[in-house]
């Protein structure tokens, strides 16, 4: 494309787009394939965020493209009261791979929708209205989901939903509670629920949790935490909703991240990874909860509820994940990537922490390892240089944390691409710290 065409592009973008958060990357993306996106100059950029943490099969997967083409020719969209084979088949497949007992599905379009529906189900079934989530959480931008989102976007929109509470997410790198010199997340959880019990009006409906808080700084719940959280919910007659928008479908080395603790939530929500980059989400729950919700008049019509085209895509995504062993591959490639990051940590003082699981990893950049102070200027320089060198990563900057790079490449990523990404990160840090 010509320089004039690019100038027109940015002029039109500036004039006609509503800015919805942050800034746009200074590149025009023309196409994407596999683990790369390609800008208007034809330059390949290694995509370590899988689009919006979603494209677990890489971009433009040929089998997904074939499913879309076939669906476009035959069946894309229906009235909400009509059912198609892809929808029933996907619900059946999800029941077969989900944690035991989660046999009922509602198919939607986005993670925000799925969490909205899950929260409504929890309120309806329990007859209560109070919802708890983590203070670093992200569950969506619609009413109930936004009220349970604390990492960003709460200011200026008026009151959140009545009965919205937050507790701190456990953070071993920045511990708040210690016992005998070690992080004591159990004491922290006990204290948090003591505060919740004091503030609650006796109407606790559900806790909604991410197994790894992505937008919250790639904070992984410690081993045993989710099991303890499920017990806290059970003691109070609450439901546990687990939001696996980013962790589901094999990304962490198990099909679902909640399997790490052997926990079966009352409600499980899936989105981003289920459609591998296409708009597909699901709410999974038990027969008992679904029956209770139905008997009490559960209503959740959306324009694209139970649409056949995305359901057909979801079926193919599951088929490819299982056929190609991508759950195991996420573990293997995640180990390769983590080993490389920890090697860089041993060289560069600015890497305070490496964390995460499978192909969902984070590196926290700090200005001083002792104080763990943030280093926003350095982090911004590393981000810019990585993009210049051909690697896209996403950075999370939150109060009380350093600057955390999120690394979530496709599960199909090749060893050479992992190594190339590590090489670019190394060069970008080396050049940025010497500036």
φ, ψ for residue 8, nearest 5 deg: -65, -40
Give the pairing of strands 204-209 and 130-134. parallel
Chain centroid to CA 58: 16
- The Cα 65–Cα 59 span in angstroms is 10
Bridge partners of 212, per DSSP, are: 220
User: For residue 357, what are the β-bridge partners?
Assistant: 360
Place of tokens 């992200």: 138
Report the DSSP pairing between strands 104-108 and 281-285.
antiparallel
Q: How many helices (H) and strands (E) does the chain have?
A: 13, 20
How big is the CA angle at 264 (ends 278 and 102), to the nearest 5 degrees? Answer: 60
Cα radius of gyration rounded to whole Å, the chain = 22
CA nearest to 139, candidates 167, 117, 156, 123: 117
Q: Which residues are catalytic?
A: 138, 210, 243, 246, 272, 406
Please give the C-alpha separations between residue 31 and each of 43, 44, 105, 383, in angstroms, as whole numbers.
10, 10, 33, 22
Contacts of 86 (CB under 8 A, 6+ apart): 71, 75, 308, 309, 311, 312, 315
Tell me the C-alpha distance between 184 and 330, whole Å.
Answer: 30
CA distance 202 to 196: 10
> Helix or strand or coil: residue 52?
helix
55-87: b or e for each residue (b if 16 or more CB lie within 10 Å)? bbbbbebeebeebbeebeeebeebeeeeebebb
């Amino acid at each position: 494309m010509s320089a004039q065409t690019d100038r027109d592009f940015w002029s039109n973008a500036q004039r006609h787009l509503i800015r919805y958060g942050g800034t746009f990357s200074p590149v025009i993306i023309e196409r994407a394939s596999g683990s790369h996106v390609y800008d208007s100059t034809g330059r390949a950029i290694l995509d370590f965020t899988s689009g919006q943490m979603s494209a677990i099969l890489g971009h433009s997967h040929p089998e997904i493209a074939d499913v879309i083409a076939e669906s476009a020719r035959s069946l894309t969209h229906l009235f909400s009261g009509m059912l198609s084979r892809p929808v029933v088949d996907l619900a059946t497949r999800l029941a077969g791979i989900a944690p035991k007992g989660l046999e009922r599905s509602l198919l939607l379009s986005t993670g925000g929708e799925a969490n909205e529906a899950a929260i409504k189900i929890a309120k309806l079934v329990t007859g209560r209205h109070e919802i708890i989530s983590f203070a670093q959480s992200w569950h969506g931008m619609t009413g109930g989901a936004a009220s349970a989102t604390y990492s960003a976007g709460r200011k200026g929109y008026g009151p959140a939903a009545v009965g919205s509470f937050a507790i701190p997410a456990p953070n071993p790198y920045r511990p708040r509670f210690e016992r005998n010199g070690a992080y004591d997340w159990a004491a922290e959880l006990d204290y948090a629920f003591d505060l919740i019990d004091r503030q609650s009006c006796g109407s606790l409906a559900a806790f909604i949790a991410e197994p790894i808080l992505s937008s919250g700084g790639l904070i992984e719940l410690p081993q045993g935490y989710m099991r303890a959280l499920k017990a806290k919910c059970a003691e109070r007659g609450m439901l546990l909703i687990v939001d696996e928008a980013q962790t589901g479908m094999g990304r962490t080395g198990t099909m679902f991240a909640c399997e790490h603790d052997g926990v079966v939530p009352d409600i499980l929500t899936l989105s981003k990874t289920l459609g591998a980059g296409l708009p597909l989400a699901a709410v999974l729950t038990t027969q008992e909860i679904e029956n209770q919700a139905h008997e009490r008049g559960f209503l959740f019509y959306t324009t694209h509820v139970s649409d056949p085209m995305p359901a057909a895509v979801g079926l193919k995504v599951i088929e490819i994940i299982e056929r190609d062993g991508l759950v195991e591959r996420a573990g293997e490639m995640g180990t390769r990537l983590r080993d490389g990051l920890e090697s860089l940590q041993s060289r560069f003082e600015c890497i305070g922490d490496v964390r995460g699981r499978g192909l969902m990893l984070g590196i926290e950049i700090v200005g001083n390892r002792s104080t763990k102070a943030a280093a926003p200027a350095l982090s911004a320089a590393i981000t810019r240089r990585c993009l210049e060198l051909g690697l896209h990563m996403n950075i999370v900057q939150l109060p009380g944390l350093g600057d955390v790079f999120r690394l979530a490449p496709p599960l199909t990523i090749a060893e050479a691409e992992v190594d190339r990404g590590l090489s670019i990160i190394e060069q970008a840090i080396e050049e940025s710290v010497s500036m």
